[in-house]
Amino acid sequence: MEGAVYEIYAIKYAQHARMARENFIGGDIHDGPMPMDYFVWVVRNAQRTVLVDTGFDRAMAQTRGRTIVHPVEEGLARIGIAAAEVADVVVTHMHYDHAGNAALFPRARYHVQEREMAFCTGRCMCHQGLRHAFAAEDVKAMVDRLFEDRLRFRDPEDSLADGITLHRVGGHSDGLQILRVRTRRGWVVLASDAAHYFANLHRGLAYPIVYNVGDMFEGYATVRRLAESDAHIVPGHDPQVLSLYPPAEPGTEGWIVRVDLPPRGQPVI
């Protein structure tokens, strides 16, 4: 494959027990437990390391009723990355579980869709139903980075580096972006919250936290168009990611996996 290729790590940092009906508009006729895992991702090769999303800390976990299993910085350290040395962070969207931990990355440049910053600082935030997934402190921290010259606004179709492209899909949040990453097995798409679970994508069912349902459904099509195959799509919150993909190294089973490597089976839909 010509051009830069990358390894991709999915790092679980938190979890939440919930029912399937909470994950689909219209619920699920076979309702039962369907927990949610929370991830950050690392895209890296010998020349570049990019962190995708920053998660949340213990204080936010307590506020939101979530459980931290490994702080983000611990997961990064386990694969040899010092949080304070991270140079580039892509924030897929500004919801609390993707844009927190403000103090962890003091040297990083942040890459955010301009439309997402307009959304989370604009008139839509007058409505509790739209703003509840955002944390004011995270939005304020991003504004601070803007004035520190540490924020880069990205276009709807953009290139971060050779082999890493950014694509605005919206839907879940108006400026939600996904990543397409070149790996040795082909183009992998980090879908983030364009598809919370494999089931959202494969059943064509919308996730209940949504700004524009039409954009969400079009986002499913975009994810599939950009990925080499369905087996090259990594959803944002599905616990099956940890069982389908091989661990990064011994001792990281159920915590850190390599999604640039082929999955070891098919997801249960």
Task: Let me know if 186 is exposed, middle or buried by CB neighbors in 10 A (0-12, 13-18, 19+).
Answer: middle
pLDDT of 163 higher than 70: yes
Tell me the pLDDT tens digit for each residue of 127-153. Answer: 999 999 999 999 999 999 999 999 999
pLDDT of 27 higher than 80: no
Average pLDDT over residues 191-196: 98
pLDDT of residue 98: 98
**Residue 28 pLDDT level (bands cut at 50, 70, 90):** confident
pLDDT of residue 29: 65
Backbone angles phi, psi at 80, to 5 degrees: 85, 25
Cα distance between residue 219 and residue 231, in whole Å = 17
**Residue 1 pLDDT level (bands cut at 50, 70, 90):** low
Tell me the pLDDT tens digit for each residue of 210-256. Answer: 999 999 999 999 999 999 999 999 999 999 999 999 999 999 999 99
Least confident of 18-27, 45-54, 213-222: 18-27
pLDDT of 161 higher than 70: yes
Give the distance, in angstroms, between the CA of residue 74 and the centroid of all CA atoms in the same chain.
Answer: 18
Question: One-letter amino acid identity for 8?
Answer: I
Cα distance between residue 163 and residue 107, in whole Å = 23
Average pLDDT over residues 101-116: 98
Cα distance between residue 16 and residue 150, in whole Å = 32
